[in-house]
């Protein structure tokens, strides 16, 4: 039986990093005889330029029909002035919604080889192993919005944040189930000292926690959490939070491991799951062949594990990444004196060979 993987390179470095991940997947396919088939589709600014929409219906249909989706990144200055409803970012937001991907798992694990690359002191970073469980299709991202209106003689804009109990329950349940398979601790992050949505969030998480007496649960305000990630990141096991806070905290947590280019993610929900690095299209380095593809390669490993249940192949890719890093190969975002500087295609080949 063949597995169908829909690949959406998108914009900027999206093409380079998805090419890398597909090359590594092909190496895994060769070794484990997986029967992978790749099917490419457009989204983002590239799709807007071709079709006048960032998310063509045929891309959504292809994702629905696939066993897993591998997504690169979308966006870029070139499209900053297009109608907000047609911005490239609408592609990933629209796909998450169309596929019902309510949960985004962002694991941050600092490989021993990378401890000294962190902007934090090595003793703070050693042993960091946490996962951010971010609610992905609710909150202020998807609330009613107004781009511009007149109010008391001045122009204003607004975005409405809302969360319902069922929306919080399903993400909280997933966070507790995830914690049960890990170290048994959930930290729920909100701003319940100010926001009504956060108070509902905190009440609902507390109710869900009653069903998981074996899991320890604590709450942090988001501002304190941002500080705690910098001063004591090893305290975290599972962090569960809303859409906007999860977006911000995951970029912060990503660099604890040295570079945003390293962090993979899995978005899961009601239909096909989607796998993407957490970073964006990096217009400042696009086309130079120097992007770090490891976040996308590790996202591909997550696809093999969670969507195709090909555990051995996923393990082999993760081990190959660790081995390449352990042998001292570094893309420019992580390079320093004494290590071997490699570009995107070189690190891809090195990882593929080690699979
Ligand atoms: N899921 C997505 O598609 C996604 C995610 C985030 C941002 N974006 C979009 O990407 C565009 C650029 O956003 P931004 O600059 O704020 O964030 P970004 O993540 O693209 O880049 C931030 C910085 O990190 C660096 N960087 C990111 N990924 C890297 C990698 N793999 N290797 C080496 N360096 C890397 C970039 O060079 C840049 O200096 C925007 O249009 C934004 O909306 C898209
Ligand atoms: C591109 C943007 C819409 C997206 C988000 O905010 O969710 C990105 O920052 C991410 O983290 O995946
Ligand atoms: Mg983000």
pLDDT tens digits for 132-178?
Answer: 999 999 999 999 999 999 999 999 999 999 999 999 999 999 999 99
In a domain, 317, yes or no: yes
| CATH number of 31's domain | 3.40.718.10
In this structure, are 273 and 250 located in the same domain? no
Tell me which of 201, 234, 258 is where a domain ends.
Answer: 258
The CA-atom distances, in angstroms, between 48 and each of 2, 85, 87, 144, 160 are 31, 11, 8, 24, 27
**74 CA closest ligand 1 atom index:** 3
Q: Residue 282 annotated as binding?
A: yes
ipTM of the complex: 0.98
CA distance 135 to 5: 24
Q: In this structure, which residue's CA is closest to atom 13 in ligand 1?
A: 280
Query: Tell me, what's the pLDDT at 257?
Result: 85
Whether residues 196 and 242 share a domain: the answer is yes
The pLDDT score that the predictor gives to residue 126 is 94
Is position 350 within any domain?
A: yes
Clarify whether residues 250 and 329 are in a common domain: no
- The verdict on whether residue 305 carries a ligand-binding annotation is no
Q: Does some domain include residue 133?
A: yes
**E strand or H helix that includes residue 266:** strand 266-268
Asked if residue 264 belongs to a domain, the reply is: no
Q: List all residues whose CB is within 6 A of at least one atom of ligand 1.
A: 13, 73-76, 89, 92, 260-261, 276, 279-285, 291-292, 295, 333
| Whether residue 90 is found in the same domain as residue 127 | no
pLDDT digit string (tens) for 197-247? 999 999 999 999 999 999 999 999 999 999 999 999 999 999 999 999 999
Q: Tell me, in angstroms, the distance from the centre of ligand 1 to residue 281's CA.
A: 5
Q: Is 277 inside a domain boundary?
A: yes
Q: Could you identify the residue written with the tokens 């809302």?
A: 162
97 plus 118 within the same structural domain: no
The structural domain count of the chain equals 2
Q: How far is CA 34 from CA 23, 26, 29, 48, in A?
A: 14, 9, 5, 34
- 146 & 254 share domain: yes
Report pLDDT for 231. Answer: 97
- For residues 252 and 147, membership in a common domain is answered with yes
* Nearest-CA residue for atom 10 of ligand 1: 280
Q: If 0-12 CB within 10 Å is exposed, 13-18 middle and 19+ buried, where does residue 323 land?
A: middle
Which ligand number lies closest to the CA of residue 96?
2
Ligand 1 atom 30: residue of nearest CA: 261
Average pLDDT, consecutive stretches of 10 residues, N- to C-terminus, the chain (355 residues): 95 98 98 98 98 98 98 96 96 98 96 86 95 98 97 98 98 98 98 98 98 98 98 98 98 91 96 97 97 98 98 98 94 94 98 98
Any known ligand binding at 246?
Answer: no
Ligand 1 pocket: which of 18, 282, 297 to mutate (most atoms <8 Å of CB)?
282
CB 251 within 8 A of CB 260: yes
Active-site positions read 141, 191, 223, 247, 251
Same domain? For 141 and 240 the reply is: yes
The answer to whether position 17 is within a domain reads: yes
Q: Which ligand is nearest to the CA of 259?
A: 1
Q: Residue 77: give the domain boundaries.
A: 1-102+269-355
For residues 89 and 124, membership in a common domain is answered with no
- What number of CA atoms fall less than 13 Å from residue 201's CA on the CB side? 30
pTM of the model: 0.96
Same domain, 128 and 85: no
Find the angle CA(76)-CA(163)-CA(266) to the nearest 5 degrees.
50
| Structural domain ending residue among the three candidates 258, 291, 314 | 258
**253 shares a domain with 129:** yes
Q: Atom of ligand 1 at shortest distance to CA of 294?
A: 31
Identify which of 260, 294, 281 has the alpha carbon closest to the alpha carbon of residue 11. 281
Q: Write down the pLDDT at residue 111.
A: 80
Q: Is 107 inside any structural domain?
A: no
Rounded distance from Cα 246 to ligand 3 centre (Å): 8
Q: Which H/E stretch holds residue 216?
A: strand 216-221
How many whole angstroms from 90 Cα to the centroid of ligand 2?
A: 10
Are both 225 and 299 inside the same structural domain?
A: no
Give residues (CB < 6 A) around ligand 2.
75, 89, 92-93, 247, 278, 280
């Amino acid at each position: 039986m063949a597995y169908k993987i829909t690949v959406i390179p998108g914009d900027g470095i999206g093409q380079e990093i998805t090419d890398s991940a597909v090359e590594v997947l092909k190496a895994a396919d060769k070794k484990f005889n997986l029967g992978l088939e790749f099917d490419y589709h457009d989204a983002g600014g590239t799709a807007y330029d071709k079709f006048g929409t960032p998310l063509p219906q045929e891309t959504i249909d292809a994702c629905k029909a696939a066993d897993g989706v591998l997504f690169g990144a979308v966006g870029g200055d070139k499209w900053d002035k297009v109608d907000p409803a047609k911005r490239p970012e609408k592609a990933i937001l629209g796909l998450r919604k169309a596929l019902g991907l309510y949960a985004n798992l962002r694991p941050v694990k600092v490989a021993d080889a990378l401890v000294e690359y962190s902007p934090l002191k090595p003793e703070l970073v050693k042993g960091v192993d946490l996962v951010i469980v971010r609610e992905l299709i609710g909150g202020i991202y998807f609330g009613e919005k107004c781009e511009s209106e007149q109010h008391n003689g001045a122009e204003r804009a607004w975005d409405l944040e809302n969360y319902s109990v069922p929306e919080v329950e399903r993400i909280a349940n997933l966070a507790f189930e995830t914690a049960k398979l890990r170290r048994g601790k959930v930290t729920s992050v909100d701003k319940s000292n100010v926001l009504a949505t956060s108070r509902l969030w905190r009440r609902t998480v507390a109710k869900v926690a009653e069903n998981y007496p074996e899991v320890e649960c604590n709450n942090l305000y988001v501002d304190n959490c941002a500080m705690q990630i910098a001063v004591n990141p090893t305290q975290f096991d599972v962090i569960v939070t809303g859409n906007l806070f999860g977006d911000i905290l995951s970029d912060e947590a990503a660099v604890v491991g040295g570079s945003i280019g390293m962090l993979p993610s899995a978005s899961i929900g009601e239909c096909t799951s989607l796998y993407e690095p957490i970073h964006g299209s990096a217009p400042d380095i696009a086309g130079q062949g120097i992007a770090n593809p490891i976040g996308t390669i590790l996202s591909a490993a997550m696809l093999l594990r969670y969507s195709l249940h090909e555990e051995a192949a996923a393990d082999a890719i993760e081990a190959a990444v660790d081995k390449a890093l352990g042998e001292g190969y570094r893309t420019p975002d992580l390079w320093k004196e004494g290590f071997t500087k490699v570009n995107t295609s070189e690190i891809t080949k090195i990882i593929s060979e080690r699979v």
